[in-house]
Amino acid sequence: MKHFDHKATAEEAAEAPGAAPAPDALAHLAQCDMLDAGVVAWDVKGRCDFVNDRAVALLELEDYGLKRGDRRSDLFEHFVNRGVLDAGRIEELNGLYRGGEPFAFETTTPSGRHLLHKARPRNGGGHAIVSVDVTELRARELKSEEGRARAEKMERKLGAELARLNSEKARVEERQEELQRLSLVAAHAKDLIVITDPTYRVAWANEAFRRHNGLDLEMDLLGRSARDVLTGPESAPATLARIDEAVRSRQSVTIEMICHRRNGPTYWMEQEIIPVFNDRGEHTNFILVGRDVSERKRAEAEAAAARRFEEAKRTESRMLAEFNEWLQSSDTLDELFAVVSTFLGKLLPGSSGAVYTYPATRDALHRACAWGEAAQVEEFEPSACWALRRGRPYFYGDNTIDICCDHVMAPRTDGPPERQYCLPIIAHGDTVGLLSVELGADAGQDTQKLVNFCAEHISLAIANVKMRDLLREQSTKDPLTGLYNRRYFLDYARRELARCAAQGREAALLSFDVDHFKRFNDTYGHEAGDAILKALAELLQKTFRQADVPCRFGGEEFVVVMPGCGEERAIERAEQLRAAVEALQLRHSGETLRVTISIGVAVTGEEAGAIQDLLAKADEALYVAKDAGRNRVQAAA
């Protein structure tokens, strides 16, 4: 596409539709070209009337060749293809052209130049478009706009910084006022307050802290470690380690520790160590807030001691109840003394002692049981104990004049004990023994009461056991001979026969009586008969082993059960008994009594038999011996 030359004839310009008079139009167009402006004239139908070279150069239409008669729509299409305009912008421009009013618009060429286009209506219709290059102008405007933007941005930044500084100033002033108030409060507070640097060295301490510990701020505190200011021999290492860890990790911690002041007793302080950070998160200080809690700790210690005392009393009462129950449950003195030695070691911790009892002769006391580490004598005479000599309890170590008992000192090589308590054991008004207890130096009235209580229960238990023994003996022993009676024999024989049968062993039974016993009674009286029975009982107890139990079965009849004994051995033992009785020399009322016995022997088989069957066999053999002339041994058939 080519443009036409603006030097065309005036006639041709005049003939153009809607054109102005030729001389004036050419002169105007020539003037525009001389002003370095691009000019394009469009008629009312949107066809080009005029275009100068400058317009072609500005619009970069060298390859397009805009000329007279070209349609504006074709030019717009060319601009769309080159990316200068888009469909929306073209539609907007077409609307402006149709409006017939002056208007202006800008475009950017493919090379990046900025063009300003001003459209003026033409006489008779159409528009004349004058285009100028405003690239430098727009650059200067852009630079100026950027400068203004930077200035505005800087102004806003300065304004924000000024606002921040004013706000920071207000906060600092407010914080200073708050710190002044806090400083005033801290200075007059009753709590003990210390402020340190980040390394926990003292920077300030209030009056309460200085006065309470007798310390001067400048002489004793400034620059020193707050951890070491009040530390002393009684400060717990574990507590100091917690302080070190809190300082190292910059964590809050609450502790209780024993503190040492310059002049005065130690005291308990509750300390709360708090790290302080500024607004930037930087660690600036530690604050130590403490208070003297000695009274509270003392009250807590007293309460704990009271609880321990109550618990000890409950434990003591429970053990005493168990002790009494075990004592009352003991069937024999051996069981009773085993209970005493076990329980007294627990009821009286750290003690040593022994229980002594009188034998039938009452010439000395023999040790029945003992506990603890201190040595105790096996026996001693009553005169060796001040409690027995004076007839009342004796507590060595609690008198103006103290003399330790001989039975206590006898086994010792390291001097007398710190405390020694000897208490007679009295049952039914009779002194049956002695309770001897060695105690520690801290033993007092409560311990004495406990020992008295134990002695009373031991006395009662001994009396009960002896009473049971007496009743048991009366119910199982013959009062004349001291041998077991028929009742005991039957119970014992049943148990032993069953045991022998279970073990596959034999058992023998001897049944015998005194020959012509009625004659002795009739001739010499019943006293002579009683003397014969007693002598026979003594001989039986000497002749047989402990497992062979002799019993008085009734009248002059006796039986002996011999577990684990066969027939041959039983006959041998029976013969020894018969010969020993025959050899007895009994004197009564000036006369010698010659006594013989007849014995029947019965032995169990492989299977357990009833005791009554074994007795029947032995009695039958006894009758055979009687019929055969008496004074002999006869085995059952």
Residue-wise pLDDT tens digits, 196-240: 999 999 999 999 999 999 998 888 889 999 888 888 888 899 999
pLDDT above 80 (res 3): no
* Segment 363-392 mean pLDDT: 90
Reported as a single tens digit per residue, the pLDDT across 19-76 is 333 444 444 554 555 558 999 999 988 999 999 989 998 888 888 888 899 999 999 8
Contact between 351 and 370 (Cβ < 8 Å): no
Q: Which superfamily is assigned to 10-133 in CATH?
A: PAS domain (3.30.450.20)
Q: Which of 130, 126, 128, 98 is nearest to 117 (CA)?
A: 130
The token pair at 229 is 């200011």
Instruction: Reduce the DSSP state of residue 148 to 3 states and report it.
Output: helix
* pLDDT(494) > 50: yes
Mean pLDDT of 114-140: 90
pLDDT computed for residue 555 by the predictor: 86
Answer whether 42's CB lies under 8 Å from 29's CB: no
Q: What is the pLDDT of residue 176?
A: 64
Indicate whether 103 pLDDT > 70.
yes
- pLDDT (0 to 100) of residue 237: 92
Kindly report which listed range (227-236, 427-436, 471-480) carries the lowest average pLDDT score: 471-480
pLDDT at 175: 63
What are the domain boundaries of the chain? 10-133, 189-292, 310-474, 477-635
For residue 333, what are the CA distances in angstroms to 323, 368, 429, 451, 474?
15, 9, 19, 20, 18
DSSP at 484: B
Domain 189-292 has CATH 3.40.50.620: no
The Cα-based distances of 183 to 40, 173, 177, 212, 222 in angstroms read 86, 15, 10, 19, 17
Give residue-wise pLDDT tens across range 506-533.
Answer: 899 999 999 999 888 888 888 888 999 9
Q: What angle do CA 439, 443, 448 make, to 5 degrees?
A: 90
The answer on pLDDT for 121 being more than 90 is yes
- pLDDT at position 634 over 90: yes
Architecture of domain 477-635: 2-Layer Sandwich (3.30)
Confidence band, pLDDT 50/70/90 cuts, at residue 182: low
pLDDT reported for residue 345: 84
Q: Alpha-carbon distance 87 to 93, whole Å?
A: 10
Output the pLDDT for position 179: 54
Same topology for domains 10-133 and 189-292, yes or no? yes
pLDDT at 186: 64
Look at residue 413 in the predicted model and tell me its pLDDT.
83
* Arithmetic mean of pLDDT, 362-379: 89
> Is pLDDT of 14 > 70?
no
What's the pLDDT band for 441 if we cut at 50, 70, 90? confident
Q: What is the pLDDT of residue 511?
A: 93
Contact 316, 217 (CB under 8 A): no
Look at 10-19, 146-155, 370-379 and tell me which has the smallest mean pLDDT.
10-19
CATH topology of domain 310-474: Beta-Lactamase (3.30.450)
